[in-house]
Amino acid sequence: MAVEASSPLWERALALQEAQLREWPALARGHEFLRKALWREWRIQGWTVKAQCNEGRRASNKARVDPASVEKRPCFLCAENRPPEQRGLDWKGGWWILANPAPLFPHHFTVTSARHGREPVTRRLGDFLDLARDLSPALSVFYNGPRSGASAPDHFHFQAYTAGSLPVEEEVLLGGGPRRGVLARLEEGEVRREVVEAAGRGMLVLTGPDREALLERLRRAVDLLPRPAGAAAAGEGWDEPDLNLLGLFREGLWRIALFPRKAHRPACYFREEPERLLVSPGGADLGGMLVLVRREDLERLEEETILGIYREVAWRGEEILERLGPGGGAARREN
């Protein structure tokens, strides 16, 4: 897949992955794991939830990501520690787009800051919006906070993936799901804000064509979220609110879902065998695709278990409505 340097960013990213599949055996193995992944799907309260069992994700699923553990290992996103076969695509002079060697999607990239370290996500929300726009329409993007699914919490990064792969895109961001899930809506200039409850997890959805107006409201929402107790002692960036972001850009509109988090992992992750379920939710999971690494966990999943996992790790819609609005209670309730 030969592309020009002036080609759209998504075309160059896909060409990078195609070349890396030939050059980098670890990436080819990761895609073989993905090809062999097992799947299940449910309709829960009218919403689609999928589960992917992918043994190639075992290291990410079981990673110790507390600050003390992270400090003891080399950062695998820093250029000096990456495999010699791994090449990157420069974006905006301060970011590298890298093919993800443990993919969850046919096209899966880590978009990493060129500089090691954490910083508050509010400083990078503009980059998140720009990335969603620049990778449109082939790819969508998500962000995992340091205690919300990030496997490299010490190095700021986003992820990009094959557009349309997560149910929340079609059912929430593009409006194809049950309208009873919309708890409140507020039109504020060119920005629409909605609070949505979908199968046990709530989200704040922002939609609009004006980058600066959308960015201001997204920053305001993140700033209103609580910081984890004691997290500031771990250093700047670690004390940001626990959250995931999912975003896309279609037909001139940004469509962003913000998932405030209650917990990093659900109680079932810490149970003794055989009751243990190895599920460590990040942005893909909140987007409607639970990621598992053991066949027995996939076979044991039931609707009530999934609802319980979402309710443990994510805020409910009513909690978001109380804390974030939209409009501080002045929004029009839909049901």
Q: Is the dihedral of CA 147, 193, 316, 57 positive or negative?
A: negative
Q: What angle do CA 255, 256, 258 make, to 5 degrees?
A: 160
| Sequence-distant contacts of 4-9: CB under 8 A, at least 24 apart | 8/134, 9/89, 9/91, 9/97, 9/134, 9/135
Question: What is the b/e burial string over 214-244, where b = at least 16 CB atoms within 10 angstroms of the residue's CB?
Answer: bbebbeebbeebeebeebeebeebbbbbbbb
192-219 per-position pLDDT tens digit: 999 999 999 999 999 999 999 999 999 9
* Collapsed DSSP state (helix, strand, coil) of residue 246: strand
Q: What are 302's two structure tokens? A: 């039931």
- What's the angle, vertex CA 62, arms to CA 58 and CA 68, rounded to 5? 140
pLDDT at site 333:
47
**How far is 159 from 284, CA to CA, in rounded Å?**
10
**Distance from C-alpha of 226 to C-alpha of 203, rounded to nearest angstrom:** 15
- DSSP assignment of 282-317 equals -HHHHTTEEEES-HHHHHH--HHHHHHHHHHHB--H
Tokens of 163: 């557009």
- Write the CA distances from 128 to 69, 138, 158, 254, integer angstroms: 27, 16, 8, 11
How high is the pLDDT of residue 331?
A: 44
Question: Any bridge partners for residue 249, and if so which?
Answer: 254
- Which pLDDT does position 318 carry in this prediction? 95
Helices in 24-124 by DSSP H: which ranges?
25-35, 58-61, 67-71
Q: Which residue has the tokens 């994700």?
A: 57
Q: Are 52 and 63 in contact (CB under 8 A)?
A: no
The per-residue pLDDT for 178 is 75
Looking from the CA of 190 toward its CB, the CA atoms found within 13 Å total 13
Indicate the Cα dihedral angle 200, 144, 124, 330, nearest 10°: 10
Query: What was the pLDDT predicted at 193?
Result: 95
pLDDT along the chain (335 residues), means of 10: 80 98 97 97 96 87 65 88 96 97 97 93 97 98 94 93 97 85 92 96 97 97 88 68 97 97 95 94 98 96 97 97 66 46
Concatenated DSSP letters for 207-233? EES-HHHHHHHHHHHHHHSPPPTTGGG
Q: Which two tokens stand for residue 127?
A: 């980059």
The predicted pLDDT at position 66 comes to: 65
**Helix or strand holding residue 129 (H, E):** helix 125-134
The full set of domains in the chain, from first to last, is: 9-178+189-333 (3.30.428.70)
